[in-house]
Structure 1
Amino acid sequence: MFSYFSKIIRFFIMLYALILPSTMMNAFADGNVLIEKTDNHHASNKTSDIDFSVNDSSKKFLNSTTNKKDTIQKNEDISEPDTPNSIARHLQTAGNMLSSSPSQLAEQAKSYALGKLNSTVNNEAQKWLSQFGTARINFALDKKGKLENSAFDILFPFYDNKADWLLFSQVGYRNKDSRNTLNFGLGGRYFQNNWMYGLNTFFDHDFTGKNRRLGGHVLNS
Structure 2
Amino acid sequence: MPLINSNSLEARNLKAMQMERDGKDPQMQVAEVAQQSGTLLARDMDSEQAASMARGWVASSASAQSTYWLSRWGTARVSLGVDEDFSLKSSSFEFLHPWYETPDNLVFSQHTLHRTDDRTQTNHGIGWRYFTPSWMSGVNMFIDHDLTRYHTRTGMGVGY
Q: TM-score, normalised by structure 2?
A: 0.70
Residue of structure 1 equivalent to 2:97: 156
Q: Which has the larger radius of gyration?
A: 1
Aligned CA distance change for structure 1 residues 218 and 113 (closer, same or farther; 3 Å) = same
Residue of structure 2 equivalent to 1:30: none
Cα deviations across residues 88-147 of structure 1 (Å, max 9, x unaligned)? Answer: x96x964x52xx6xxx2x212211210111111111001001110001111111111211
Residue of structure 1 equivalent to 2:10: none
Residue of structure 2 equivalent to 1:210: 150
SS of residue in 1 equivalent to 2:96: strand
CA contact 2:110–2:124 (8 Å) conserved in 1: yes
Work out whether 1:128 is the aligned partner of 2:74. Answer: no
Work out whether 1:200 is the aligned partner of 2:140. Answer: yes
Tell me the CA shift for residue 193 of structure 1: 5.7
Cα deviations across residues 9-28 of structure 1 (Å, max 9, x unaligned)? Answer: xxxxxxxxxxxxxxxxxxxx
Aligned residues: percent identity? 38
Cα deviations across residues 159-204 of structure 1 (Å, max 9, x unaligned)? Answer: 11x2321100011100111100011000101124632111121101
Give me the CA root mean square deviation. 2.2
Compare the two structures and name the one with the higher strand fraction: 2
Aligned CA distance change for structure 1 residues 119 and 193 (closer, same or farther; 3 Å) = closer
- List runs of 5+ in structure 1 lacking aligned partners: 1-85
SS of residue in 1 equivalent to 2:136: strand
Compare the two structures and name the one with the higher helix fraction: 1
Query: In the alignment, residue 115 of structure 2 is paired with which amino acid?
Result: N
Cα deviations across residues 23-71 of structure 1 (Å, max 9, x unaligned)? Answer: xxxxxxxxxxxxxxxxxxxxxxxxxxxxxxxxxxxxxxxxxxxxxxxxx
Work out whether 1:183 is the aligned partner of 2:129. Answer: no
Tell me the CA shift for residue 216 of structure 1: 2.0
Query: In the alignment, residue 112 of structure 1 is paired with which amino acid?
Result: M
Following the alignment from structure 2 to structure 1, what is the Cα–Cα distance between the partners of residues 148 and 48? 31
Tell me the CA shift for residue 153 of structure 1: 0.4
Q: TM-score, normalised by structure 1?
A: 0.52
